[in-house]
Amino acid sequence: MKIFVMTDLEGATGVCGTWQDINPGGREHERARRFLTRDVNAAIEGAYEAGAKEVVVLDGHGAAFSIIPEELDERAKLIRGRRILEMEGLDSSFDAVFAIGAHAMAGTPDAILPHTLSSATIMNVWINGIKVGEIGLWAAIAGTYDVPLVLVTGDEAAVREAKKLLGDIECVAVKKATSPYAAICLHPNVTYRMIKEAAIRALRRLDEIKPFKVKKPVELKVEFKYVDIARRVAKRPGVELIDGRTVRAIGDNIIEVMSLVL
């Protein structure tokens, strides 16, 4: 088996605080990086124990330097640095996707740092009329390659979002938000065991967890925070402005329409 591990920072074990706290230069940034790397290692260990032959990890937060390479399980390959595509490196050769450190979509009331792609510029995203966050976008991208998203780890809100969209996939809630910046957190040793065990279960259930397939044609709508951003994006070929802050693109798959709008 070949496993692709998509990562983000906000949903990792113990990660709390404001954007300033967890981003580079913030008082919690280095701790957050260690927490995320540890969560990813748990998933890698579980994957190999379940029979994986190759694991590729994508550093998916911000400028993509959140994973600590020297602390990552040496059996895994790491994609890091500014990427062109949302899930750089994923293709149909993979058997499954894990999403480690996921967060809830923009506007979720009981979530840690909820946002969709950009807290600064994007309000909402819809695929074929269904509002989605990054978890939904990742599942749709993976589905384009007939690869299922089988494991999601994050806060309780992210887990609810994943199960609502994707059904009975494996999930691990590592914390429960009490505000957008605070959470009740499980101990890192506890979440390590939980993530490892969930990764094993996910791969043992691979035959029953199906890829998330989006019906064609694929319509992607994005509501931006500011009118001027929407107007600029709407000038691109294939993109239509449908109200003051919302644009739409239609294409054959989610990767195509995301490249037009985002």
Kindly state the average pLDDT of the residues 161-174: 98
The answer to whether residue 127 scores a pLDDT higher than 90 is yes
Place of tokens 């109200």: 243
User: Which whole-number Å values give the CA distances from 200 to 18, 45, 153, 182, 254, in the listed order?
Assistant: 33, 9, 14, 30, 29
Kindly state the average pLDDT of the residues 35-42: 99
Q: How far apart are CA 255 and CA 209, in angstroms?
A: 22
User: Residue 2: what pLDDT?
Assistant: 99
Give the pLDDT confidence of 57-71 residue by residue, as tens digits. Answer: 999 998 889 999 999
Residue 250 tokens, joined = 């239609």
Give the pLDDT confidence of 41-56 residue by residue, as tens digits. Answer: 999 999 999 999 999 9
Residue 94 tokens, joined = 């993979």
The answer to whether residue 85 scores a pLDDT higher than 90 is no
Kindly state the average pLDDT of the residues 105-111: 97
Average pLDDT, the chain: 97
Kindly state the average pLDDT of the residues 182-207: 99
- Domains by residue range for the chain, with CATH: 2-119+132-204 (3.40.50.10780), 218-261 (no CATH)
Q: Is 170 left (phi over 0), alpha (psi -120 to 50) or beta?
A: beta
Kindly state the average pLDDT of the residues 228-250: 97
User: Residue 84: what pLDDT?
Assistant: 83
Indicate yes or no: pTM above 0.85: yes
